[in-house]
Chain A
Amino acid sequence: MVSSYNPILLLRGELMLVRDIIKTLDAEILTGEENLDLDIKSGCGADLMSDVMAFVKDNVILLTGLINVQGVRTAEMMDIKVICFVRGKQPTEQIIELAKSKGITILCTKNPMFIACGLLYKAGLTGRGVWD
C-alpha cells in the first residue's frame, strides 16, 4: 500500500521533522520516540553499508531494505539517528534493542524503496544525503 498522505508544506526551511517523515511514509515507529522532533536535512537510500559509510553526511535518514544489526552499527558509526526499513520488512527484537541502546530511531514502512524515497522527495526533503 502506497501512502496517500498529502505531504505539502511539511518542510520548515529545508528540514523535516521525524514525526512528519512518519506521516509521509505511513510508517510505524518501533523505537526512538525521543527523536520525533529531530530535524532531518536529507535522505540516503542504500542496501550497501560500505556505500553509506563512503558517501553519507550528517542529519540523514537512512532508508534501507537491509535488515540486520550491521545496519544499526553503520548508523552508529555515521552518527545517523534515524533508520527506516522499507518494503514492509520487520527487524528482529535484537536489532530494535541495539538501536534503542544507541538512541537510534527505527521506522518501518510498507512502501518499497523507490516509492519511499519518492514520497520524501515530493514532500520537499530534497537534500543530498551524500557528499557532493
Chain B
Amino acid sequence: MGLSGQKVTLRYTIAAEDFISAGEASSHVKKTLNKLGISHELVKRFTIAMYEAEINTVIHANGGEAYVEITPEKLMVRISDNGPGISDIEKAMMEGWSTAPEHISEMGFGAGMGLPNMKRYADELAVESEVGVGTVVTITVYLS
C-alpha cells in the first residue's frame, strides 16, 4: 500500500461523553498512515494533534465528526462539532487556560494544553468558532 498520487479520505463520528472510545479515530488514522509508509515523525505529529482535537470534541462539544484527507502533499483533518463554541479563541490558544470541568482532569486532560499542543505539532492550524453554533478545527501537516 502506498500513496501514488491518489487521494485517500476517511470519515469518523466522534461519540459524545465517551472517554473509552475517545481516540479511536486518531488511532485508526495512525494505523492507516503507517500502512501508507508515511514518515513516523510526521504521522506522530499529525495524530497527536488530531487526538487532542478528538478529546476536545468529547470534553466540550458532545462529540462531532472528523474528516481526514491524505494526499501526496499533505495530511489534513477537519474536526467539526455542534458544541457551545469558543468565545475567545486567543485565550483558548494559551497554555493553561481551560474551561473543562474538574472531572476531566481526572482523565489526564483539561489542563489547557489541547489547542496549544495542536499548534505545536501542526504545520497549519485553523480554528473557526461561533458561540452557540459550534467549532471547526482544521489541522494540516505537510509531507514535503
**What is the interface of chain B mostly: helix, strand, loop, or mixed?**
helix
B117 touching A79, Cβ below 8 Å: no
A49 touching B109, Cβ below 8 Å: yes
B111 touching A51, Cβ below 8 Å: yes
Residues of A within 8 A of B111 (CB): 48, 50-51
Residues of A within 8 A of B44 (CB): 77-79
Q: Which of B19, B20, B48 contacts A77 (CB 8 A)?
A: B48
Number of interface residues of A (CB under 8 A): 20
Number of interface residues of B (CB under 8 A): 23
* Complex Cα spacing A47 to B109, Å: 9
* Complex Cα spacing A48 to B22, Å: 16
Could you give, for residues 10-39 of chain B, a 1 whenever the CB lies within 8 Å of some chain A CB and a 0 otherwise? Answer: 000000000110110011001000000000
User: Is there a chain B Cβ closer than 8 Å to A9's Cβ?
Assistant: no
Residues of B within 8 A of A66 (CB): 107-108
A50 touching B19, Cβ below 8 Å: no
Residues of B within 8 A of A1 (CB): none
Q: Which of A53, A70, A94 contacts B22 (CB 8 A)?
A: A70
User: Is there a chain B Cβ closer than 8 Å to A6's Cβ?
Assistant: no
B117 touching A50, Cβ below 8 Å: yes
List CB contacts (< 8 Å) of B76-135 with chain A: 107-109, 111, 113-114, 116-117, 120
Q: Quick one: given A50-B113, A68-B19, are A77 and B51 in contact (CB under 8 Å)?
A: yes
A77 touching B26, Cβ below 8 Å: yes
User: Is there a chain B Cβ closer than 8 Å to A43's Cβ?
Assistant: no
* Complex Cα spacing A70 to B54, Å: 12
* Complex Cα spacing A71 to B117, Å: 17
What are 21 inter-chain pairs, A to B, with CB distance below 8 A? A48-B108, A48-B113, A50-B113, A53-B48, A53-B52, A54-B120, A64-B108, A68-B107, A68-B108, A70-B22, A70-B55, A70-B108, A70-B109, A71-B108, A74-B51, A77-B27, A77-B44, A77-B48, A77-B51, A78-B48, A79-B40
